[in-house]
Amino acid sequence: MTEKKRTGETKKGKKAGRSTFPAGVLYVGIGASAGGLEPLFQIVEQLSPDDPCAYFIVQHQSMETGESLLPSLLAKRTDCSVELADDGARIMPGVIYIAPPDKLLSFNGILISLSIQEARTMPIDHLFRSLAENAGGHCIAIILSGSNTDGTLGSRAVKEHGGVIIAQDPDTAEYKTMPQSVVDTGLADLMAAPSAIPNHIRDYVNTVSQRDASETDTIAFSQSQRNTLFSLVKNRVGHDFQPYKENTINRRIQRRMDFHKIERLKDYITLVKSDPNEANELFKDMLISVTNFFRDPACFETLKQTLVKQYLPRKNSAEFRAWVPGCATGEEAYSLAIILAEAMDETGVHCDVSIYATDVDTEAIARARKGVFPENIEADVSEQRLRRFFSHQSNEYRIKQKIRDMIIFAEQNVRQDPPFYRLDTIICRNLLMYFKPEAQQKVMSHFCYAMKKNGLLMLGTSESIGSLAECLHPVDASCRLYMAKRGIEDHERYTDSHTSQRLFSLTGAPAGGYARRRQEDSVGESGIRSMERILLNLATPPSLIVNRNGDIHYIHGRTGKLLEPVQGRPDSNVLRMAREGLRMHLSTLLGECAHTNQKQTRRNVRVRTNGDETLFDIAIQPVKSDQFDVQAFLISFEESPPPREGELDIENIQNISGQARNRITALESELQECRESMRVMTEEHEAANEELKSSNEELQSTNEELKSTVEELETAKEEVQSINEEQSTLNDELQAKNDELQRISNDLDNILVSTDIATLFLDNDLTIKRYTPAISEMMSLRESDLGRPVTDIAMKLEYTALAVDSSSVLQNLDSLTKEVQNEAGSWFQMRIRPYKTSDNRIDGVVVTFNDITRLKKSEQVAQTAQNLAESIIDIASEPLLVLDEKMVIQTANRAFLETFEVSEKNSIGKSIFDAVHGRLDQPELQKALESLVTEKHVLWEYPIKVELKPSRTMRLHINAKYVPFSTQEGEAPASCFPSRPLLLWIVSVPNLHPKTDLLLSPVLDVF
């Protein structure tokens, strides 16, 4: 299951939600931004004050707005009471609460809580998170039109706590970014038009009300039905939920049932069978990809300081390997990469980092690989880290490539697939708490096996290491940060009941055969008490309890006459401790008892003790007890009674014949020889047994070595599996990159083919790398010319310095622009620029040819027209001026200069009112010319008087016309030209005649 928030929060939220309102009452949070007012109108128009819901609306408004107008606008559209939220106000059903523009709206039990909104805080996320924590599954989050991603992170919290997410259908939104973000992250349970949302709210209210009416604190389903459902899900999606805690899974199943308005699990199973997509939806619901950057910031800071102060300075390899199982959409993996980059910079210890981030959710892994996150991560990531590790692109933050390259994302089931190995750090937060204890123990054993010595493990704040305290010791108990006592190279791997062998002993060395046999044969305290009860119940004389090999487990009574310690290493084997005359009988009787499983006895056994002989009766019988599982035998010793009166005592018989005496002596001698022979045979037999035991021990030692070899092979096999897993992960990552490169390559190919600009790419050696089809007008190129020097290609230009100019650009790193002509007479603007790679490295040049033939022709036409105009102006017999819009003289003909007796130097570039010694500085004339510019009409025969000399005044008529620049589309905008000419013709009255217009017209036509 993907990562989740702390269990304590979930339980707290659920409890708060239940204690706030009666059963069936819901919190409904609505977030809107740009374009959200009309959808709000459509929703509130259908709300009823009788609905058991409290509504909370947050709309993005400027914090400087002051009093919000939204309450008055909504109040006109609904029958519900609409109030501006007030800090400390009690929440009532049937009321719509509006968040003030400069405040964050949250909850404190059944009271509203308002706080100051900071610049980077996302108000909709803040509302939704508070909804989730207070109402749990009794809340609905609604996302309407908006131009940012506020609400996405809050929707994840609502989803985690069992609430419902409704997004406005992006096709109906004026600004679709906000609802589309929730849809793209897979959080939306439903997409609907705003007018349909109130009906969905009522349906969910009815479902929850019916459930609350009969629900106990724990949701329970039939085990057989659960197994049937799990089997269906496993067959569809390949994931088994049996090891997950029942309450967690039951809540997710109930949520899907509520969504479909189904009351019985049996009916829901029927739905899953008939609708293949429902199994996938249930799977997604169970695997809520809920996470965020630096969850519990203090814990991540503790991890960073541990890396800086303890781990990295002592690291003896150039590789740092980490594993983040249950990574969801990658925030936690990227958080680890960021603090690791910071730690390496602080310590100066730089490693080749490989962080394996895994999850069973394919869609979450795909999103994690992109490394793109909404703007509202600003609430979790500091501004400094955002600048250093992220790039901001149109309402999104993209992780920088340096951090992205540290992480390898892959699909993996942490319970079933082999773990990664030789890891420096494992972060598995808030995942194990959803597993049953057996599954938790199995996963934790994988972690212990996978870590290096002193490797770091960080769990969620609601999780613990269980029975693995001998494998891990705490670095910070409050943050659940642990350090491995042993590494994969020297600690025993803990496995579940399905694993057949142990790899190493607790001391780090392979377990020896003797120690293993002693462990198998050892008996605990409860076994010893059981033996005492057996001996007391039987009221036995001096006795022993031994196993089949004669190893003594318990001694009862005084046995000094029967046993003595052996020389050398202490030994507790009864056959080696038995005194002379007893050993052979014990070995025989013990073997017979073990074979027949019946009591065996031997009477009058002579036992030599300190030079004396004592007769003993021996009895051996099997014993049983539930406290020890080895085969045990009770050996009891009892002194034989002396011969009774009247029995034959050969030594005291005096009246026997000499022949009989000789016969007795011979028999005694023969008996002594037999005993001696039997003693020799017994010793040889015991020696043979010792040799056999020695051989057996050697065989057992060999067997142990073989077992150790098998265990090493199993370890090697698992390492190979882990390597294969890594290779598969790398292959997936490379395939994803190859696909992306292929798409980029296709886009580039299409751009190059579709463009009309001839482009040529050359490398640093001026060999051809790529070109566009339009280059054929400049040179003869074929596909086979790729890789050839550009100097080998025939040019179709009247220009031969391409190689020289390209080398100059490579040397100076400055762009070069020239105009060149091809053999067909067409003109091109050639521009040579350095080719820069993404890492700011120069890798050749880019040569572009832009067709400017039409521009050149236009320039020629313009030059001809200008020459004609200047000639006409110059030969005119009357004074003629060309002014700009500011009445500055641009051109003056000879007649003007001669009439007003001024030089060209003193008139060109000066205002007409300042030139000619101010003779034309007349307010009426100035006003007439300025109106000519604004109203664009013709000034005709405007009379003025000019004093040319102190004694000479001349009456003149002014003819003027504003001349605009024109294009094919009409008059060109003023921004295209800095100034426009004003043609001014000055005619003296005596010379006025109708032919003047004939001379003026061609000049005007030119302009």
- Tell me which residues are annotated as active site: 33, 60, 150
For the chain, the straight-line distance linking the first and the last C-alpha, in angstroms and rounded, comes to 79
* Pairing mode, strands 816-821 and 768-771: unpaired
Q: What is the DSSP letter of 89?
A: P
Alpha-carbon torsion angle 736, 742, 748, 751, nearest 10: -110
* Distance (Å, whole) CA 142 – CA 59: 12
265-274 vs 246-259: helix crossing angle, rounded to 10:
70
Tokens of 699: 């065989």
- What is the full DSSP assignment across 527-568? HHHHHHHHHHHHT-SSEEEEETT-BEEEEES--TTTB-PPSS
- Entry field: residues in the chain: 1007
Q: For the beta carbon of residue 116, count every other beta carbon within 10 angstroms.
A: 9
Q: What angle do CA 78, 188, 428 make, to 5 degrees?
A: 135
Which strand (E) or helix (H) includes residue 200? Answer: helix 197-214
Q: Tokens in use for 142?
A: 């609604």
* Contact call for residues 373 and 319 (beta carbons, < 8 A): no
10 Å CB burial of residue 902 (0-12, 13-18, 19+) is middle
Rg of the chain, C-alpha, whole Å? 50
Query: Could you count the other beta carbons within 10 Å of the beta carbon of residue 210?
Result: 15
Q: Please spell the DSSP secondary structure of 128-164, one letter per residue.
A: HHHHHHHHTTSEEEEE-SBSS-TTHHHHHHHHHTT-E
Torsion angle of C-alpha atoms 71, 105, 93, 290, degrees rounded to 10: 130
728-to-167, 328, 401 alpha-carbon distances in Å: 37, 19, 22
Only one residue has tokens 């696909």, namely 739
Phi, psi of 694 (to 5 degrees): -60, -45
Tell me the DSSP string of 565-596.
PPSSS---BHHHHBPTTTHHHHHHHHHHHHHH
- Residues 108, 169: Cα–Cα separation, whole Å: 32
Burial class (CB in 10 A: 0-12, 13-18, 19+), 750: exposed
Residue 142, beta-bridge partner list: 30, 166
The residue to which tokens 């050696």 are assigned: 765
Dihedral sign of CA atoms 555, 557, 558, 562 in order: negative
CA-to-CA dists, residue 201 to 26, 77, 124, 142, 259, angstroms: 9, 18, 19, 10, 11
Contact 151, 125 (CB under 8 A): yes
